[in-house]
């Protein structure tokens, strides 16, 4: 069965029974709320865990999900280059919840309060920009280059629709809790 590159919330909800839902966010983000029945396979582990992912899906269609749809679109592209068809949920879990559909939580609880990756990146970028300005004024003007580097990285991120800072922040310990289990997907590393 052919799978569209992107499904809106209505299309995804109508096909939930036939789709294997894979959430590509960090384990901490996944724990803060995910589509019911989703398995967690962080984006940075997705291609390495392809055999387990194929086994979990039974060869059926995949729906990749993140908070807004950006990372899941990247995952669709990465899987397509390896011959695996998948769809991305347009608007991600934000659109899902905004449409009034419930989110699942590990252990059936309410989830723990974890900032979304986008918010973590904005905080980190803002803190580094401020640090560069303050250190440049107080210690040495050369520290202003830190702010310039972060600003350049943000521009590059916007132009390429990728985010290197998110990959780094995603590796912090509070974002990696439970990553080894990866929500029970066989073959995950």
Kindly report, residue by residue over 26-71, the tens digit of the pLDDT: 888 888 889 988 988 888 888 888 887 777 777 788 999 998 988 8
Task: Report the length, in residues, of the chain.
Answer: 189
Q: What is the pTM of this model?
A: 0.63
- Measured in whole angstroms, how far is the alpha carbon of residue 123 from the centre of its chain? 17
- Predicted local distance difference test score (pLDDT) of residue 114: 63
Secondary structure letter of residue 19 according to DSSP: P
Provide the token pair at 41.
Answer: 């396979």
Q: How far apart are CA 84 and CA 136, in angstroms?
A: 49
Q: How far apart are CA 111 and CA 102, in angstroms?
A: 13
Q: How far apart are CA 117 and CA 94, in angstroms?
A: 13
Specify the pairing of strand 6-7 against strand 20-23. Answer: unpaired
For helices 117-138 and 144-160, the axis angle rounded to 10 degrees is: 150
Instruction: Give pLDDT tens digits for 140-173.
Output: 999 999 999 999 999 998 888 778 888 788 777 7
pLDDT at 181 over 50: no
- Predicted local distance difference test score (pLDDT) of residue 31: 83
- Measured in whole angstroms, how far is the alpha carbon of residue 145 from the centre of its chain? 29
* Domain at 1-189, CATH class: alpha beta
Q: How far apart are CA 28 and CA 124, in angstroms?
A: 17
7 DSSP β-pair partners? 89
């Amino acid at each position: 069965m052919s799978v569209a590159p992107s499904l809106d919330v209505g299309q995804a909800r109508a096909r939930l029974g036939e789709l294997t839902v894979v959430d590509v966010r960090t384990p901490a983000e996944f724990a803060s709320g995910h589509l019911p029945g989703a398995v967690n396979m962080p984006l940075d582990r997705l291609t390495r865990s392809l055999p387990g992912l194929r086994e979990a899906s039974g060869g059926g269609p995949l729906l990749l999900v993140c908070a807004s749809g950006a990372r899941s679109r990247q995952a669709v592209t990465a899987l397509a280059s390896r011959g695996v068809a998948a769809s991305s949920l347009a608007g991600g879990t934000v659109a899902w919840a905004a449409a009034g559909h419930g989110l699942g939580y590990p252990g059936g609880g309410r989830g723990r309060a974890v900032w979304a990756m986008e918010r973590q990146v904005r905080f980190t970028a803002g803190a580094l920009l401020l640090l560069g300005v303050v250190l440049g004024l107080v210690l040495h003007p050369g520290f202003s280059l830190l702010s310039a580097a972060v600003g350049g990285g943000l521009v590059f991120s916007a132009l390429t629709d990728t985010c290197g800072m998110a990959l780094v922040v995603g590796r912090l310990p509070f974002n990696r809790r439970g990553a080894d289990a990866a929500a029970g997907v066989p073959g995950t590393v």
